[in-house]
Amino acid sequence: MATSSPVTKLEKPARNSTLAGAPLLHDPVRNKGTAYSRDDRQKLSIEGLLPHAVETLDRQVERVLAHLDHVKDELDQYSYLMDLEARNETVFYRAIMSDPKRFIPILYDPTVADACEAFGNLYRRPRGMYITRHMKGRIAEVLRNWPEKDVRFVCVSTGGRILGLGDIGANGMGIPIGKLQLYTACAAVPPQVLLPVLFDIGTSNEQLRADPFYLGTRETPLPEAELDELTEEFVRAVEEVFPGCCVHFEDWKGTDAIRMLDRYKDNILCYNDDIQGTAAVALAGIAAGLKQTGGKLQDQRVLFLGAGSAGLGISKLITAELQTKGLSAEEARKRIRLFDVNGLVEASRTDLTETQKIYAHDDKPSKDFLKVVEDFKPTVLIGVSTKPGAFTKEVIEAMSRLNERPIIFALSNPTHKAECTAEQAYTYSKGKALFAAGVQFDEVNYEGKTYRPGQANNFYIYPAIGLATYAARPTRLNDECFIVAAHATADQVGPSMQAKGMLFPSQDHILETEITTATRIAEYMFDSGLATVARPREIRAWIESLLYAPSY
């Protein structure tokens, strides 16, 4: 058990910095804008550079919200908020933390998909860091150009598999930016410890390479061996420049994502949200669903449409939890089936990866998804295929014949990639389905009853993982951290929420939800010896003392 001193609360850069004049107003961290007092305007040589009025922070936020009320296009709202963050970080976070439920869909899914596609046109100023193959041998030197020295999280993406958009290369920078903004917006992790990185290894997207506004390297992606070598240098450079930093892998191509996680998860502090975060949020939804059906995880049969990194990650975490309940790995995997573009993942197939092979059973080959549903009789159906409409009326009706309360997750996003809509799930199942999607669908009224579909989005998991990691400074993040996170999330779905068919907590109080989950994760980190700081007497109170609060 480690015995080092507890982490102390990080403070924002001092407001009484020697920075003054126009440069002060151009520093988003220190800038107070119209909130500077008359005396401060004189002392800091900014008198005359601002309008006459002296405003409170709350009034500044009111202006932001009033402006957004008149901006109807979500992408325009996104652009406005990005510009606001570049001008005044405090107002930006005070605004979005005042109503995360409103701003999560703007800052992240689904609007971020549109922002990524238009990234070259929306680009205004640097945000995060861009690491390319041309920096080989000098990556540590380049990372030292980042102004903050106490970086605790690097969210790094290659842009190789962004949402349902595929390989969009450097346009994918919107993802690590958005992910880290939600660390702060949802879990109050201080923004100065967060570094978004686009690992620009090239793109297979020929249209982007021909686009005159494309901002990435106009090269095809690195071969696997060269990518592995460059990634190794990057990982070691992060360890050297930012000791104790957690590497958050995000939206790498599926095979690269699995390979990198397998390579580094037991050697450095890291995780892959597409694999482990998605797995945990799916497990949370299943656990919440079983509270309503009265079933046990070991009695479930889970069928996936999609056998990429997300489906395999969820399968792995389900297997890991079933092993804690006394099943062998082989027994656990027998309760899982995967179906991809080439049909059922079964033992006779010769096109499977090594990771897929362990879920290939001695079943008859089939390319008929409905027949697989009828034969396997799943209790849980999970879509991670990015194939819109794949959960047809016939599939949902079959699930409803086989189960009194079928659990159906259409996790692909953005919205137009979902395997089915909430309305389809409830209507085709005659109100029986326990449904969640990767995006937030509106409430559905069916035969006089209102159903509130859940959003099985990773923002319930990874900000809490981030907050616990920021506080406890663990050496590693193992599967159990994500299992704990899943059950902590599910346990916050109370009876009143269950009555509406909800499988995830309300987003109205997301910070409280994340703190509760982070507390459970941190408790596990201390109990298991993963934490490297001294255990405080009251873990929740200690975590609350570390939270970022946007204020002057």
Q: Give the catalytic positions in this structure.
A: 108, 179
> Whole-angstrom Cα distance, residue 184 to residue 236?
26
> Whole-angstrom Cα distance, residue 432 to residue 430?
6
> Whole-angstrom Cα distance, residue 288 to residue 370?
26
The answer to whether the beta carbons of residues 285 and 300 sit under 8 Å apart is no
Q: Could you check whether the bond before residue 495 is cis, i.e. omega within 30 degrees of 0?
A: no
What are the beta bridge partners of residue 444? 451
> Whole-angstrom Cα distance, residue 391 to residue 406?
13
Chain center to CA of 280:
11
> Helix (H, G, I), strand (E, B), or coil: what is residue 305?
strand
State the SS3 of 88-121. Answer: CHHHHHHHHHHCHHHHHHHHCCCHHHHHHHCHHH
**Residue that is written with structure tokens 């997207």 in the block:** 205
First to last CA, the chain: 38
Phi, psi for 341 (deg, rounded to 5): -60, -25
- In this structure, the strands spanning 153-157 and 246-249 are parallel
